[in-house]
């Protein structure tokens, strides 16, 4: 455990056991990647960093 984060493993190739992570991925795809073209890796990283801040700290 580092920085207060507990690692939790699930069965491989079984997304049903990772519901929260799968939901976050679905939200990320819908809110970040729909309708935009990320030209390069630095641009993509900045975009995802900003979205993650909002997702983790500002959303209900």
pLDDT per residue as tens digits for the range 2-57: 678 888 788 887 777 788 888 888 888 888 888 777 788 998 899 889 989 998 89
Question: ∠ at Cα 15 (22, 53), nearest 5°?
Answer: 20
Both tokens of 19, joined, read: 């519901």
Q: CA-to-CA distance for 60 and 56, rounded, in angstroms?
A: 9
Both tokens of 16, joined, read: 């049903």
Q: CA-to-CA distance for 23 and 19, rounded, in angstroms?
A: 6
Q: Return the pLDDT at 2.
A: 66
Q: Return the pLDDT at 42.
A: 92
- What pTM was estimated for this model as a whole? 0.60
């Amino acid at each position: 455990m580092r920085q207060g984060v507990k690692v939790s493993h699930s069965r491989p190739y079984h997304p049903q056991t990772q519901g929260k992570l799968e939901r976050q991925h679905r939200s990320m795809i819908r809110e970040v990647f729909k309708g935009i073209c990320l030209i390069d890796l630095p641009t993509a990283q900045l975009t995802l960093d900003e979205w993650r801040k909002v997702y983790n700290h500002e959303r209900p």
